[in-house]
Amino acid sequence: MLILLAVFLTCTAAQAVAGAGEDRPNLVFILGDNHNARTMGCVGHPFIKTPGMDRLAREGILFENAFNTTSLCSPSRASILTGAYANRHGVKNNHTPWTGQMKTFLAHLSAGGYATAFIGKWHMPGKGLPKMPFLDLFVSYTYREGQGAYFNCPMIVNGQEVRSRVPYITAEVTDYAIEFMQKVQAEPEEGRRPFCIYLSHRPGHPPFKAPDGIAGMYAEADVSRVLPSHADPLWYGKTKGNVFQGVMMGSYENKYRKYCETLTAMDQDIVRLLEEMDAMGLAKNTVVIYMGDNGMQWGTHDCHGIREAYEDSLRLPLIVRAPGLIPDPGSNRRQMVLNIDMAPTFLSLAGLGVSSAMDGQSLVPVLKNPEAHGRENFLIEFWRYFPENTPSYTGIRTDRFKYIEFARGRSPWLFDLLNDPLEMHNLMGTPQGDKILPQLKDRLAQLIAR
Amino acid sequence: MRRVMVPVLWVLLVMSLSYAGYFGSRHLEGGLLQSWMACFFGTTYFLSIAFGTLYVYIAARLRGANLPQCILASLVNPSIWMTKEVLRLTESHPFLESLYWFLNPLDLWLLSFVIMEMGLATLMVRTILKQKGEEVIVFTMGPVVTVLGSLTFAVSIYAWGEGENIYVYFLEGYRLLFGYGL
């Protein structure tokens, strides 16, 4: 019965977005980098301008409780592509190579009749870029460990190294995305395939460099409402548990301002992409999703970075615009959703069966119904990544508690997120902690064994 | 020994107090005092690590230390800082891997600065001695080449991709030696 219901939901989802019912929706997935979930205009950030994301949130759904399962770039990206936890897809840190042992949702979509494009930051270890012949377009870069460069980044287009065509990286990859949409739309209507674009951006990653017109726009911005009161005004003093402790030159506040500028630069190209879709008449039949690969801590808990198991690192910005599917555009969802949910969501939207190899769940039921039942907990994993000073850890997050066990160097963490959302009071060894701990340990063991 | 140790300990004292002041300031929960402490002790912490050699070398030399003693003395405090950073990494990584951190680009940068300062300090000591009436030649090949060479190296590793490129090679070296660290 449940299977029948799932098939029904899948089919109706594909039809709802298509509108007329004869076409499957186009899918555009936009991935940000190190994007702290609170750093968008639509969630009330005091100064950042993100009209593109704000528009998506107005016309779609903003997820308030989106998380990654491994808070590090490469593992999270592999989880997004495969729908699997890192312990299954094998990319455990930024050194472990992508093996291709698990099929990506792009491969599934391609086999299911979609024109597929991967454009932008791949950033998974290994020799060069992987072979993905099923893609209609593969644009990426391997420059500087796959991080690329903000300006004049050498690109690799379908295996051929080419020079950048425009200076700034977000404009460059967005141009490729627009051209891909135009190319697919130029195909004869009969037999034209729906498309899926995976558009992966660099902004949010240091060194934070914005293009002319945006660079410096937040130079005078008041950061006092977003950075902790102890953020260094003069020194880029990455604190406890971080690289180059305490002696990096440069104002922490200015670093944050520049970080915001790069996000605005990315958003500018999201606006352009959405406007191009409007002009091509694609908006009504295209699902657009914006998400980050992981969050980022800006001084909270004396930490800077993406790896600690605090909320600022684990939480993701996630916005879904799915015309015809969402009954209440412009609203929020509170269900816990994950990066591993992206792959099953895309397959579901495309009317394809969700692979049993995937750990994630389709977001379609939650998109369609604000009251849909969400997940109760999820597994948090992290493998140490030299030279970053965070030990390997495993943990569980429920809608109320977070419990983290470290492989070495630290005692466990247990936070009551309902009463202590800033995670200031470790409950380990307290009566409340002792009471809840066995249950959390049991659930964690179940998640690991699954 | 005393003529070398005294300047070394002075810099170490500044470094330690700065460390305590800089990180201790974070417990003040914001405000002007916190901000002032962070700025002041952050600056003295940086200066003691990056430019302490200049003082140590000059002071030791003027106290009569010979060249090897001055070189060793100049390396003590930067080495203490680098070792502290290595030990810090042992919270997360095995000891051998943590030792590899000694080769990180920032340490290379610091060492090149230290060497430059030794050359510069030699020239300064000679100038002081000359002003005191001693017959010394200030500019000779050794210290001048040391200053220019180390400065060129320091600037080059930064200019080459703002330090990112050398960091990439540092990570390549890590993977070559230790694999993926799993």
Q: Could you write out the DSSP letters of every residue in A82-149?
A: HSS-HHHH---STTSPP---S--HHHHHHHTT-EEEEEE-----SSSSPP-TT-SEEEE--TTTTT--
Instruction: Identify the closest residue of chain A to B101 by CA–CA distance.
Output: A387
CA distance B32 to B40: 12
B168–A233 C-beta distance less than 8 A: no
Show which residues on chain A lie within 8 Å of chain B, measured between beta carbons.
92-93, 95-97, 125, 144-145, 147, 207, 228-230, 232-235, 237, 239, 241, 244-247, 249, 302, 383-392, 408-410
Reported confidence tier of residue A249, pLDDT bands at 50, 70, 90: low
Instruction: Identify the closest residue of chain A to B24 by CA–CA distance.
Output: A230
CB contact at 8 A, A328 and A112 = no
**C-alpha distance from B10 to closest chain A C-alpha (Å):** 19
Q: From start to end of A81-209, where are the E strands?
A: 115-120, 137-140, 155-157, 160-162, 195-200
List CB contacts (< 8 A) between A145 and chain B: 168, 171
> Residues A391-404: what's their mean pLDDT?
97
CA distance A306 to A123: 15
CA dihedral A150, A151, A152, A153 (to 10 degrees): -10
Q: Packing angle between helix B105-131 and helix B31-62, nearest 10 degrees?
A: 60
Instruction: Say yes or no to pLDDT of B158 above 90.
Output: no
A230–B30 C-beta distance less than 8 A: yes
**C-alpha distance from B135 to closest chain A C-alpha (Å):** 40
Mutate to test the interface with A, among B16, B49, B93 (most CBs of A within 10 A): B93
- Please name the member of A234, A239, A391 whose beta carbon is closest to the beta carbon of B39: A234
Instruction: Say yes or no to pLDDT of A4 above 60.
Output: no
Instruction: Identify the closest residue of chain B to A407 by CA–CA distance.
Output: B92
pLDDT at B181: 86
Instruction: Tell whether B3 lies on the interface with A, counting CB pairs under 8 A.
Output: no
- In the DSSP assignment, the letter for residue A151 is B
Instruction: Tell whether B28 lies on the interface with A, counting CB pairs under 8 A.
Output: yes
Reported confidence tier of residue B2, pLDDT bands at 50, 70, 90: confident
pLDDT at A96: 94
Reported confidence tier of residue A235, pLDDT bands at 50, 70, 90: low
A391–B92 C-beta distance less than 8 A: yes
**C-alpha distance from B164 to closest chain A C-alpha (Å):** 7
- For A294-329, the pLDDT digits (tens) are 999 998 888 888 999 999 999 999 999 999 999 999
ω into A97 cis (within 30 of 0) = no
Reported confidence tier of residue A2, pLDDT bands at 50, 70, 90: very low
Instruction: Identify the closest residue of chain B to A230 by CA–CA distance.
Output: B30
The position carrying tokens 């070495």 is A408
Can you give the pTM of this predicted structure?
0.91
Higher-scoring residue by pLDDT: A214, A245: A214
Instruction: Say yes or no to pLDDT of B81 above 60.
Output: yes
Two tokens, residue A45: 């950030």
Q: What angle do CA A212, A317, A336 make, to 5 degrees?
A: 175
CB atoms within 10 A of CB B50: 18
Reported confidence tier of residue A233, pLDDT bands at 50, 70, 90: low
Instruction: Say yes or no to pLDDT of A419 above 70.
Output: yes
- For A126-181, the pLDDT digits (tens) are 888 999 999 999 999 998 888 899 999 999 999 999 999 999 999 999 999 999 99
CA distance A140 to A150: 13
Instruction: Say yes or no to pLDDT of B105 above 70.
Output: yes
> Residues A393-410: what's their mean pLDDT?
97
- Residue A220: how many CA atoms within 13 Å on its side-chain side? 0
Two tokens, residue A297: 């801590």
List CB contacts (< 8 A) between A245 and chain B: 85, 88
B34–A230 C-beta distance less than 8 A: yes
User: Which segment of A249-253, A396-400, B106-110 scores lowest on mean pLDDT?
Assistant: A249-253
pLDDT at A333: 98
Instruction: Say yes or no to pLDDT of B35 above 90.
Output: no
Residues whose CB is less than 8 angstroms from the CB of residue B12 and which lie 6 or more positions away in sequence, other chains included: B76, B77, B80
List CB contacts (< 8 A) between B164 and chain A: 144, 147, 207
> Residues A60-69: what's their mean pLDDT?
98
CA distance A15 to A25: 8
Higher-scoring residue by pLDDT: A270, A127: A270
Mean pLDDT for all residues in chain A:
91
Instruction: Say yes or no to pLDDT of A400 above 60.
Output: yes
CA distance A390 to A406: 9
Instruction: Say yes or no to pLDDT of A12 above 70.
Output: no
**C-alpha distance from A243 to closest chain B C-alpha (Å):** 8
> Which B residues, 55 through 84, put their C-beta within 8 Å of a C-beta on chain A?
none
pLDDT at A7: 44
The position carrying tokens 């080495």 is B79
The position carrying tokens 């998400």 is A291
Instruction: Say yes or no to pLDDT of A9 above 50.
Output: no
Reported confidence tier of residue A238, pLDDT bands at 50, 70, 90: low
The residue among A387, A253, A242, A234 whose CA lies nearest residue B45 is: A234
The position carrying tokens 């039949």 is A285
**C-alpha distance from B85 to closest chain A C-alpha (Å):** 8
The residue among A288, A117, A268 whose CA lies nearest residue A203 is: A268
Percent of chain A residues topping a pLDDT of 90: 80
Bridge partners (DSSP) listed for residue A378? A397
Two tokens, residue A291: 């998400």
> Which B residues, 84 through 123, put their C-beta within 8 Å of a C-beta on chain A?
85, 88-93, 97, 100-101, 104, 106
Instruction: Say yes or no to pLDDT of A21 above 80.
Output: no
List CB contacts (< 8 A) between B168 and chain A: 144-145
List CB contacts (< 8 A) between A241 and chain B: 91
Instruction: Name the 3-class secondary structure at A108.
Output: helix
- Residue A377: how many CA atoms within 13 Å on its side-chain side? 21
CA distance A178 to A139: 13
Check residue A216 and give left, alpha or beta (phi > 0: left; psi -120 to 50: alpha).
Answer: left
pLDDT at B42: 83
Reported confidence tier of residue A1, pLDDT bands at 50, 70, 90: very low
Instruction: Name the 3-class secondary structure at A200.
Output: strand
Instruction: Name the 3-class secondary structure at B154.
Output: helix
pLDDT at A11: 47
CA distance B89 to B99: 9
List CB contacts (< 8 A) between B47 and chain A: none
A244–B106 C-beta distance less than 8 A: yes
Percent of chain B residues topping a pLDDT of 90: 68
User: Which segment of A5-9, A212-216, B21-25 scores lowest on mean pLDDT?
Assistant: A5-9
The residue count of chain A comes to: 450
The position carrying tokens 């308030």 is A64
Q: Please give the backbone phi and psi of residue A96, each rounded to the nearest 5 degrees, phi first.
A: -75, 125
DSSP line for B10-72: HHHHHHHHHHHHHHHGGGG-SHHHHHHHHHHHHHHHHHHHHHHHHHHHHHHHHTT--HHHHHH
CB contact at 8 A, A385 and A73 = no
Higher-scoring residue by pLDDT: B154, A250: B154
CB contact at 8 A, A231 and A299 = yes
pLDDT at B38: 80
CB contact at 8 A, A381 and A27 = no
